[in-house]
A and B are shown apart, each in its own frame.
Chain A
Amino acid sequence: MSTPSETVKEADGELRWELPARGPVGMYCLIAAEAAIFVIFVVAYLFYVGKSVSGPTPSILSLPLFISLCLLSSSLSIHLAVGALKRGRPASFLAYWVLTLLLGAIFLAGTAREWRHLIYEEGLHALHVTVGLLLIGTVAVFTFLRKVQQEHAGHVEVLSLYWHFVDAVWVVVFTVVYVIGR
């Protein structure tokens, strides 16, 4: 990770100046903003749970266990991918990265099948998954073109943070819509 650090000479010795890297900090801020949006949707959903207003209810949705497992596993695979790149193993990185892409795509396809009922929360979540997949896909393309090197591990890790967030949101959505909503 590229950290702006300075070694500054002071009259009474040296001062080492190291601040956090801007990539992760910026991504955490973005995650906070997105989390706030999702919280409001979850609150709205919980507010109407049990009331007979039209909206997505578990009775018309089948329990999406399989695709949930896919998405959760993709968090693991992306974590392994980032680790591999940091240790300078581009081949392993590519393998895990493509696996992430595949698992995410399966999730999205499964969600799309339920799509006509799921505009509200799932649509928003699916949108984020799509954006994430596009970004991951872009990195995959660059990897194939041999442009992704070890020193890019920091950027890739920032992207993986976003993906973990998307996964965490799914856990919440799953719990609220499919579990509590029953």
Chain B
Amino acid sequence: MSTETTGWTTPADATVPLVDRLHGWVTTVDHKRLGILYILYALFFLVVGGIEATLLRIQLIRPHNAFLSPEVFNQLFTMHGTTMIFFVAMPLVFGFANYLVPLMIGARDMAFPRLNAFSFWMTAFGGFVLYFSVVGGYGLYGMATAPDVGWFAYAPLTAKTFSPGHSTDFWTLSLLVSGVGSIGTAVNLITTIICLRCPGMTLGKMPLLAWLNLAMAVLVVLAVSPLTAAQLMLVVDRYLGGHFFDTQAGGSAVLWMHFFWVFGHPEVYVLVIPAFAFASEIIPVFSRKAIFGYPVMVAATLAICFISMSVWAHHMFTVGMTSLSNTFFVLSTMAIAVPTGIKIFNWLATMWGGKISFRTPMLFSTAFLFQFLTAGLTGVMLSSAPFNWQLSGSYFVVAHFHYVIVGGILFMAFAAFYYWFPKVSGRMYDERLGKLHFWLFTIGFHLTFDCMHVPGLLGMPRRIYTYEPGRGWDVWNLLVTVGVLFQGVAVLIFVANLILSYLRGPLAGSDPWDAWTLEWSTSSPPPEYNFAVLPVVRSRRPLWDLKHPEDPDWKYE
């Protein structure tokens, strides 16, 4: 086992029986293998969630369509949202963190390897529980009992009165279980970053990816727990005679909203902060310049973390809070736009004066910058409460958050895939297929999500299985659906590229991008123990120092 690696392409593997190799993967506590498991899990559910979205969009391609019944539609949008957030985006984020953080801080593994494995399997089991709902309960005879209460499961729709049966319980249980996994991983990440950095790597010399994942993990610890607490209360309401949210017995629907969004808002920062991490590593390398303003990038991240715990009720502007409360949340939400916007300027300044090479990771990163700018601006529009009174609950919001999650987070995830694929697999991906994936996906993304803003502005609410003609929504919905086709094809090309390249791609070597952080000093893929000798670092870019002994970073930091 000591010579085991994470790659699948070393000759030694050919002689080990398949059963033993699979057993190695199932029982692994190696952060690199667990990272890959998380990412493959996320990719699988990305396809599942994408199919769910495609079905939804086919139903909405024209008014009064009869492709899906309202019951099935309502289950599909609930499952689509829940799947994408908890079983695609979170595992993706945790997977990359798991793989990269120990390598980039010069450690041999995470602080608690067994907790790491336990956390992964809990998350995985949560996804299984959610999808068991499709066949459990009344099963397919009753048009499945998948949850149909929306991914934020507002009370009192989730009360026993309005959701008899077990569909809501599947939602609750699956997230309780995966929540345990999330907290476990977060505890692991924080401890790893604080306790296992290699000699010389003070917090101020850590790669930004490590800082940003630290911030993300702190948010998980603080934000997932409120969801867990609220769900426990929901279970008490539904089965133990509680009335926390049971409005018919004096409970409060608004209390659920507060608890949920206290989780829900930091959650979206949990998802986007790692995208910032990728951008902060990839953009400098492809611009051939150090990141502009490292200390401010750290400060901005901490500010975002801190402020993000105070903005949650901007999801509740239409609920009827007092004008004073609404005003407070407008202020806090607009405030958070400042450190977030600053980051865009820092990345832009990193590119400024550089020598930008537009390989696939940089193509996705550049698109990310344009798209995250747009998403941030529609967010500013939504943060103005009166404007929000028109825009909330409409397709404008749906367009906004997909712009962030797909146009921001998924684009950077693709960039990260291509950037670190050579390190993980030892082989280089096919650049032409990569560019094809990029252009097709970008065209599809913009067709779908640019057009999606318009029906919102014309009064189309979200979560409706059909709509009236004559409201000016028809052609926009058609265009939105057409864009899905491009994105679907692009994702298939992406998956094909991954598979073909890992099977037959040219060997990449340890440092194909001429990069500067510690993971590029190991072989590709790295050995199980990562580093034979723990590195000693003197600056934020240890490999730059090695490659430029006449002009090392530590002279300027």
- Which residues of A are interface residues toward B (Cβ below 8 A)? 4, 6, 8, 10, 15, 17, 19-22, 25-26, 29-30, 32-34, 36-41, 44, 47, 51-55, 119-120, 124
Contact = CB atoms under 8 A, between A and B. Distances in A.
A139 B229 CA distance: 30
Interface residues of B, number: 42
B196 A4 contact: yes
B255 A47 contact: yes
Nearest to A47: B255
Interface of B is mostly: helix
26 contacts: A6-B199, A8-B199, A10-B536, A15-B199, A19-B197, A20-B194, A21-B195, A22-B191, A25-B111, A26-B188, A26-B191, A33-B221, A33-B222, A33-B225, A36-B221, A36-B222, A36-B223, A36-B225, A38-B229, A40-B230, A44-B229, A44-B255, A47-B252, A52-B250, A53-B250, A54-B241
A160 to B, nearest CB: 18
B328 to A, nearest CB: 17
B224 interface: yes
Given A22-B191, A26-B191, A51-B250, 18 more contacts: A6-B534, A22-B111, A22-B195, A25-B194, A26-B115, A29-B186, A29-B191, A32-B221, A33-B222, A34-B225, A36-B222, A37-B228, A37-B229, A41-B229, A44-B233, A44-B244, A52-B250, A53-B250
Given A51-B250, A120-B242, A17 B199 contact: yes
A153 B536 CA distance: 30
A101 B232 CA distance: 28
B183 A20 contact: no
Nearest to A19: B195
Interface string B499-510: 000000000000
A26 B192 CA distance: 9
Contacts of B196: 4, 19, 22
A47 B183 CA distance: 27
B200 interface: yes
Interface string B441-469: 00000000000000000000000000000
Contact of B187 (A15, A30, A38, A54): A30
For the complex of A and B, the 3 pairs showing the least CB-CB separation, nearest first, are: A36-B225, A40-B229, A17-B199
B251 interface: yes
Interface in B145-198: 183, 186-188, 190-192, 194-197
Contacts of B252: 47
Contacts of B232: 124
Contacts of A34: 225
Contacts of A6: 199, 534
Contact of B200 (A8, A37, A53): A8
A119 B241 CA distance: 10
Interface in B494-520: none
Contacts of B259: 40, 44
Given A22-B191, A29-B190, A53-B249, A37 B226 contact: yes
Contacts of A33: 183, 186-187, 221-222, 224-225
A15 B538 CA distance: 11
A25 B195 contact: yes
Nearest to A36: B225
B110 to A, nearest CB: 10
Contacts of A8: 199-200, 536
B150 to A, nearest CB: 21
B100 to A, nearest CB: 19
Interface of B: 111-112, 115, 183, 186-188, 190-192, 194-197, 199-200, 221-226, 228-230, 232-233, 236, 240-244, 249-252, 255, 259, 262, 534, 536
A90 to B, nearest CB: 27
Contacts of B192: 22
Contacts of B233: 41, 44
A107 B548 CA distance: 65
A44 B252 CA distance: 10
A8 B533 CA distance: 12
B225 A37 contact: yes
Contacts of A54: 241, 243, 249
Nearest to A8: B199
Nearest to B534: A6
A33 B199 CA distance: 29
Contacts of B115: 26
A19 B194 contact: yes
Give the most central of B112, B229, B232, B243: most A CB within 10 Å: B229
Given A32-B222, A53-B251, A26 B111 contact: yes
A15 B200 contact: yes
A41 B195 CA distance: 32
Nearest to B110: A22
B107 to A, nearest CB: 10
B249 A40 contact: no
A26 B187 contact: yes
B213 to A, nearest CB: 14
Contacts of B241: 54
Contacts of B199: 6, 8, 15, 17
B229 A26 contact: no
A22 B112 contact: yes
Contacts of B250: 51-53
Nearest to A17: B199
A162 to B, nearest CB: 13
B190 to A, nearest CB: 5
Contacts of A15: 199-200, 536
Given A17-B200, A36-B221, A25 B244 contact: no
Contacts of B225: 33-34, 36-37, 40
A124 B233 CA distance: 11
B195 A20 contact: yes
Given A51-B250, A53-B251, A29 B229 contact: no
Contacts of B536: 8, 10, 15
B226 A40 contact: yes
B484 to A, nearest CB: 38
B179 to A, nearest CB: 10
Contact of A29 (B187, B226, B249, B534): B187
Contacts of B221: 29, 32-33, 36
A109 B23 CA distance: 44
A94 B243 CA distance: 45
Contacts of A38: 229
Nearest to A40: B229
A20 B193 CA distance: 10
Given A32-B221, A36-B222, A120-B236, A25 B190 contact: yes
